[in-house]
Amino acid sequence: MGRLKQLLPINDKPVILHCIGTIIASGIDDIVAVIRDDSNDLKEILHGLPLRIVFNRKAESEMAESVRIGLHEADASATGVMICPSDHPLVAAGTFKTLLHAHEQDPQQILIPEYNGKKGHPVIFPRKVIEDVFSGMNLREIISNNPDRVRRIPVPDEGVLYNMNTKEDYKNILKWF
């Protein structure tokens, strides 16, 4: 992308603030943001928000490494952990609420939102299941190793599908937004 995608603007506001603002608006109050430690801009943008910031010093690592780092900071009494990639800025607050409600009803399930039959993000993992990242598994492996625990949650939110991995993805998000 040429620069940190979390800093790319959507309506004059960095992508990361869209993501975190929606999480906060959904009522989630225990937020751990895992960021690269070499990004002073991200540190500055997140400063003062109601969240804990931790650093992934391995900038080119898989998402599972960031999950491991974040889990060390997450509330140990939490029954689940929602993984919210910061390159999905269009997820609606209602989707977070729907997933949280489903987790309250069935906290032992891996909850994956789907829009028109397509899986998206964020995903909620039971706390005990997500801890498999400490044995070296990545998130896809955890999901595939626990097929009986996977529950897809239909949501009316196309935003769960939109991520930003390429410049074309970013342009599409700007158009959609």
Instruction: Report residue 18 as tokens.
Output: 């869209």
- Cβ atoms of 53 and 31 within 8 Å: the answer is no
Each residue's pLDDT tens digit, 50-60: 999 999 988 77
- 3-state secondary structure (DSSP) of residue 150: strand
* pTM (whole model) above 0.85: yes
Q: Which residues contact 127 (CB under 8 A, 6 or more apart)?
A: 78, 79, 80, 81
Residue 135, Cβ neighbours under 10 Å: how many?
A: 8
Q: Which domains does the chain have, with CATH numbers?
A: 9-176 (3.90.550.10)
pLDDT band at residue 35 using 50, 70 and 90 as cut-offs: very high
Of 115, 113, 91, 93, nearest to 102 by C-alpha is 113
